[in-house]
Amino acid sequence: MRILLPDDTELALEDGATGADAAAAIGAGLARAALAVKADGRLQDLSAPLHDGARLEIVTPSSDDALELLRHDTAHVLAAAVMDLYPGVKISIGPPIEHGFYYDFEFPDGVTISDADFERIEAKMREHVKADERFAREDVSVGEALERFVREDQPYKVELIEDLVRNEGVETVSLYTNGPFTDLCRGPHGPGTKRIKAFKLQSVAGAYWRGDASRTMLTRIYGTAFFSREELAEHLERLEEAKARDHRKLGVELGLFRFSPVAPGAAFWLPHGTRVFNALVALSREMGELHGYSEVKTPQIFDSVLWETSGHWGKYRENMFVTQAEERQMAIKPMNCPGHAHLYASERHSYKELPIRYSEPGLLHRNEPSGTLHGLLRVRHFAQDDAHIFCTEEQVQDEVVGCLDFAFSTLGLFGFDVQLELSTRPENRIGSDEMWDRAEGKLRQALEDRGLAYELNEGDGAFYGPKIDYHVKDSLGRSWQLGTVQLDYSMPERFGLTYTGADDREHRPVMIHRAAFGSYERFIGILIEHLAGRFPLWLAPVQAIVLPIADRHNAYASEVVEALRAAGLRVEVDERGESVGRKIRDAELRKIPLMLVVGDAEADGGTVSVREHGAEEARGVPVAELAARIAEQAAARAA
């Protein structure tokens, strides 16, 4: 038979030849390096037979799919080692993931695993690797596979097979055996365990079977693997570096905020953190003015009837902070929208007024489950750059585009890599299919109008309408939602919102919920990690620090500070009796954008010596010139 290679040459092989045979026919080196093959774009084992005319690609460690394959192999080796060490353990699933793999187990009663056990497990894994066990595939009937896993008392495997039969109607399944361990697995796998040159177990965590909180909690062991020790070491190094960017660490080091057990999930903002926060609120207000938003203020605590009207009482009561006032049940607001809807309803509106855009940097409280709190990224007490647009059905499309433009011109200042997600109708929803078709179509159209790439999240919309979310990743690659645009056909109904149309009849407005940053807390957390704590001039809590060389220069230093403050800049002076080297080091560690050294020469000439991160030092800069330049730079919010 003939197969086609990537360079379009043909290779003649005997009928029934495998991927391994093909690799060997091309060259001995390639045969040694080969892990698997891609036949007509589909990955398969080296030992699987090829078919005539197949377009073949040999997968080696340098191929795109190789790491995933290796990590999947390693997951099987982990399972083998765990089976050796913990008799009676039940296995579930063990896939490769973005930077490694995991395997979920149910350990026998009384056995808990912690990272202290990793050494022992890794040692056992190394034995399996050293033995270079083959990954042997076997296709068996469903009956045979079920019989096997029932006999071995592996209920999770049995359930998986039963589901495969039910959902996909399979009649046979594939089993992979490496050494003493056999797993239900689609494959493919590499030829043998010896290809696993470098691996490491990383953490242990609980994980619900099938991601269902009502089912058993399994023990998940995470690890990673590479083709060389160097690559593993580099990866671990990168993880360490990422930890150094952690906003929880930098926030404390830079004196931005703190947390305390007296208020779990709520930040205490120090003066410097508050400056950053306020600078962002100012930005949002400025953008709001530009885009036709009107700021409003609504109460913090409402009678629970408002939450019943909005529907939050039924759905989110557990997650709301409830309080009491003279026998009346009140609740602290978890969102601004009911307040805004109530405000809208308090006046009559004509179509001529629409769209009405209410913004409010409102302070919100949500009683998030304790286990979900995470620094500034998931908190119970936060503020949003929130706004609600009340508009006619015809205006929705333009308003959504406006929201996207608002968000991108705002987020664009920070250089984030923003992922857009469009979430469509969930199973539990209100409104007709026609309404959903229209609403989803408008969001999609808005994204396409602006040429924005997005991911489709089917069924993930709110019960009252579809939405577009902006997602970014933190330093450790975890994805977080920032802003959003949500169409809401429910709230206007619940609050009986109307406007008088040109036809002199009452009509229902559409409500759009939108935010660019989302929560300021989360945004600042992400921003700190993104910038590694080095804020641009316009956001920096301290924009410049004046460093007198000796204390005879302190008086001149104070003059410089005054001049710069007069230009509206946030400036400090370091008058400590320390060396210049020391003052510079400390200012660098505080990540202050500008260091202004002043000595005899500067005092004589009315200048400063400017040290700026990532730039050449500039001596003899006249103070007035510097003040004008950086004031302009800050006003322009230049990066």
Partner RNA sequence: GCCGGAAUAGCUCAGCUGGUAGAGCACGUGUCUUGUAAACACGGGGUCCCGGGUUCGAGUCCCGGUUCCGGCUCCA
Catalytic residues: 337, 366, 384, 386, 388, 467, 513
Shortest gap between Cβ of 16 and RNA (angstroms)?
Answer: 43
Which H, E and C letters describe 290-356, residue by residue?
HCCCEECCCCCEEEHHHHHHHCHHHHHHHHCCEEEECCEEEEECCCCHHHHHHHHHCCCCEHHHCCE
Sign of the Cα torsion 56, 61, 65, 70 reads positive
Q: Which is nearer to RNA, 287 or 598 (CB)?
A: 598
Q: Which is nearer to RNA, 396 or 597 (CB)?
A: 597
Tell me the C-alpha to C-alpha distance, in Å, between residue 22 and each of 42, 43, 60, 109, 193.
16, 15, 13, 49, 21
Please confirm whether the linkage preceding 264 is cis (ω < 30° from 0).
no
Q: Which is nearer to RNA, 265 or 273 (CB)?
A: 265
CA nearest neighbour of 125 among 178, 162, 171: 178
Shortest gap between Cβ of 318 and RNA (angstroms)?
Answer: 8
What is the pairing mode between strands 217-226 and 257-258? Answer: unpaired
Which H, E and C letters describe 518-576, residue by residue?
EEHHHHHHHHHHHHCCCCCCCCCCCCEEEEECCHHHHHHHHHHHHHHHHCCCCEEECCC
Q: At what angle do helices 142-151 and 155-168 cross, to 10 degrees?
A: 160
Shortest gap between Cβ of 225 and RNA (angstroms)?
Answer: 17
Q: Return the structure tokens found at 310.
A: 């909005």
Shortest gap between Cβ of 614 and RNA (angstroms)?
Answer: 10
Q: Please provide the distance, in angstroms rounded to a whole number, between the alpha carbons at the two ends of the chain.
A: 61
Q: In the block, which residue shows the tokens 């913090």?
A: 300
DSSP category for residue 102? E
Q: CA 370 from chain center: how many Å?
A: 20
Q: Which is nearer to RNA, 38 or 357 (CB)?
A: 357
Q: Which is nearer to RNA, 391 or 603 (CB)?
A: 603
- CA within 13 Å, CB half, 96: 19
Q: Which is nearer to RNA, 326 or 604 (CB)?
A: 604
In angstroms, the CA 562 to CA 566 distance is 6
- CA within 13 Å, CB half, 381: 9
Widest CA span in the chain: 93
Three-point CA angle 111, 114, 116, nearest 5°: 115
Q: Which is nearer to RNA, 57 or 602 (CB)?
A: 602
Q: In the block, which residue shows the tokens 């957390």?
A: 525
Phi, psi of 539, rounded to the nearest 5 degrees: -100, -20
- CA within 13 Å, CB half, 405: 14
Q: Which is nearer to RNA, 52 or 588 (CB)?
A: 588
Shortest gap between Cβ of 526 and RNA (angstroms)?
Answer: 14
Q: Which is nearer to RNA, 107 or 454 (CB)?
A: 107
In angstroms, the CA 561 to CA 557 distance is 6
The residues, ordered by sequence, that sit 6+ positions from 109 with a Cβ below 8 Å of its Cβ are none
